[in-house]
Structure 1
Amino acid sequence: MLSPSPRFNDFPPYTPIEPFEVLSARMGIPMERIVKLDANENPYGPSPKVSKVLASLPFVHIYPDPESRALRERLAEFTGVPVENLMAGAGADELIDLILRVMLEPGDCVLNFPPTFGMYAFDTRLNAGQVVEIPRRADFSLDLERVLDAVRRYRPKVIFLTAPNNPDGQLPLPEEVEALLSTDALVVMDEAYVEFTSAGGRLGERLSRIRQVLERDNLVVLRTFSKWAGLAGLRVGYGAFPGWLLSVLWKAKQPYNVNVAANAAALASLQDLEGLAQNVEKIRQQRQELFEQLCAVSFLKPIPSEANFILCKVEGKEARAVKQALMQEGIFIRYYDTPLLRNYIRISVGRPQDHQALMDALRNLEREA
Structure 2
Amino acid sequence: MMQIAPHLDQLPPYTPIEPFEVLSARYGRAPHEIIKLDANENPYGPSPRALEALAHLEWAHIYPDPESRALRAALADFLGVPMAHILAGAGADELIDLLLRILLRPGDRILIAPPTFGMYAFDARLNAGEVIEIPRRPDFSLDLEAMEQAVFTYRPKAVLLASPNNPDGSLLDAGTLARLFTWPTLIVLDEAYIEFAEDGGRLGERLSSIRAPLERENVVVLRTFSKWAGLAGLRVGYGVFPEWLLPTLWKAKQPYNVNVAASAAAIASLGDLDTLAERVACLRRERARLLALLSTLPYLRPIPSQANFILCRVLDRPARVLKEALAAEGIFVRYFDTPYLQNYLRISVGRPEDSDTLIAVLRRLGDDSRSR
What TM-score do you get using the length of structure 2 for normalisation? 0.98
The residue number in structure 2 matching 1:224 is 224
Matched, 1:30 2:50: no
1:1-369 alignment, distance < 5 Å: 1-369=1-369
1:176 deviates by 2.1
Whole-Å separation in 1 of the counterparts to 2:257 and 2:6: 29
Is the partner of 1:310 in helix, strand or coil?
A: strand
| Secondary structure, counterpart of 1:362 in structure 2 | helix
**After superposition, what is the alpha-carbon deviation per residue over 1:169-189, rounded to whole angstroms, capped at 9, x for unaligned?**
011232222222111111000
1:116 Cα deviation from its structure 2 partner: 0.2
Q: Give unpaired runs (5+ residues) of structure 1.
A: none
Residue-by-residue CA offset, 1:210-232 (whole Å, 9 max, x unaligned): 01211011000001000000000
Amino acid in structure 1 at the alignment position of 2:291:
F
Structure 2 distance, partners of 1:174, 1:122, is 28
Cα displacement (A) at 1:25: 0.3
Which blocks of at least 5 consecutive residues in structure 2 are unaligned? none
SS, match of residue 234 in structure 2: coil
SS at match of 2:346: strand
Structure 2 CA distance for aligned equivalents of residues 183 and 308 of structure 1: 30
Q: How large is the RMSD of aligned CA atoms in angstroms?
A: 0.7
Q: Distance in 1 between matches of 2:135 and 2:302?
A: 20
Q: State the alpha-carbon separation in 2 of the partners of residues 93 and 265 from structure 1.
A: 18
**Secondary structure, counterpart of 2:232 in structure 1:** coil
Deviations 1:88-118 (A, max 9, x none): 0000000000100111111111001100000
CA–CA separation in structure 1 for the residues paired with 2:218 and 2:314: 39
Shift of 1:248: 1.1
In structure 2, the residue corresponding to 1:233 is in which secondary structure?
Answer: helix
Q: Deviations over 1:61-94 (max 9, x none)?
A: 1100000001000100100110010010000000
Q: Could you tell me the TM-score, scaled by structure 1's length? A: 0.99
The alpha-carbon deviation at position 166 of structure 1 amounts to 0.3
The one-letter amino acid paired with 2:228 is: W
Cα drift, residue 2 of structure 1: 1.4
The C-alpha deviation readout for 1:181-219, integer Å capped at 9, x for no partner, is 111111000000000001110000000000121101100
Number of equivalenced pairs: 369
Q: Determine the C-alpha separation between the residues in 2 that align with 1:329 and 1:33.
A: 10
Instruction: For 1:294, give the aligned amino acid.
Output: L
Q: CA deviation at 1:14?
A: 0.4
